[in-house]
């Protein structure tokens, strides 16, 4: 559970970073003249939180097959897109501008989701390599200890 929470926190902070970048790019493209106050800084945190909710809900402790894993990831991504679009555009009139913005947000969410998962995969890969190296060192230390112990039991002089 502790490891899963750490993973969720990593996803949250990586997401918030990319959300800030996406907000900058979308803002410059769709509404370059618009100015905001300091309250705008809360939105990446809210969006990051919304982004990890499906990961907290759609969670399992059992090992998944590759198809099950892919289905779970697609479901999580779909849920995130729906939650984000509903949160951002819920109650807004449906017009060309809103649809364009919703498409931009959806594409940004997909890109961010993929980036967060790729970065998480690389972080897991690094952790696995470190564990393997530590295991090799441990095994060689045990091997040396066993070898010394066996050598000490062999009678000398024969």
Domain boundaries, the chain: 2-153
Question: What token pair was written down for 16?
Answer: 């918030």
Check: CB of residue 80 under 8 Å from CB of residue 48: no
Phi-psi sector, 91: left (phi>0), alpha (psi -120 to 50), beta = left
In this model, does residue 141 exceed pLDDT 70? yes
Confidence of residue 156 (pLDDT cuts 50, 70, 90): low
pLDDT (0 to 100) of residue 46: 92
pLDDT (0 to 100) of residue 79: 94
Dihedral angle sign, alpha carbons of residues 64, 66, 67, 72: positive
**CA distances from residue 25 to 21, 34, 48, 63, 80 in whole angstroms, order as listed:** 6, 13, 17, 38, 20
In this model, does residue 115 exceed pLDDT 90? yes
Q: What's the average model confidence in pLDDT over 76-82?
A: 94
Q: 4-63, pLDDT tens digit by residue? A: 788 888 888 899 999 989 888 888 887 888 888 888 889 899 999 998 888 888 777 788
């Amino acid at each position: 559970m502790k490891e899963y929470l750490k993973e969720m926190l990593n996803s949250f902070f990586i997401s918030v970073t990319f959300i800030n970048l996406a907000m900058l790019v979308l803002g410059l493209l769709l509404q370059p003249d618009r100015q905001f106050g300091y309250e705008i800084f809360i939105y990446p945190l809210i969006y990051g939180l919304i982004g990890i909710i499906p990961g907290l809900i759609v969670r399992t402790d059992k090992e998944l097959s590759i198809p099950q894993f892919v289905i779970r990831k697609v479901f999580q991504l779909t849920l995130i897109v729906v939650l984000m679009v509903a949160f951002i555009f819920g109650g807004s009139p449906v017009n060309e501008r809103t649809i364009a913005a919703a498409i931009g947000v959806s594409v940004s969410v997909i890109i961010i989701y993929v980036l967060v998962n790729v970065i998480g995969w690389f972080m897991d890969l690094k952790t696995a390599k470190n564990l393997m190296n530590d295991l090799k060192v441990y095994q060689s230390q045990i091997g040396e200890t066993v070898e010394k112990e066996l050598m000490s039991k062999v009678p000398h002089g024969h």
